[in-house]
Structure 1
């Protein structure tokens, strides 16, 4: 269980950033369109999306590496 701690941590980061992205995207798009607000809020939203995608990619990559190591040992 402790060996897979990094998978749980990366999954939590990916899930949290994806949820925050989805929750704040519609509000920020509305504010940019209606109030002519600065587009820096959209940059923050898309950085959350990029963070979640990178975390998911790392989870998949590290899981594949772990699977190959287990097959090599066993």
Structure 2
């Protein structure tokens, strides 16, 4: 991946993690990972279904099983 493309991807991941922390999640976890681990019926699970419709297999590729322990909610 080109340097600029990698830079932009890194910034987008950082913004994703920031948004998750603002929403009381683990500051080192992405929203996609949080959605993948969410219980069925929650708003996070519904968002996960939207992500899956846009990008099939997205949640399986982005789940971080070693993250989420510092979430407040």
TM-score of the superposition, structure 2-length normalised? 0.30
Q: Which has the larger radius of gyration?
A: 1
Greater helix content:
1
Higher relative contact order (CA 8 A, sep 6+): 1
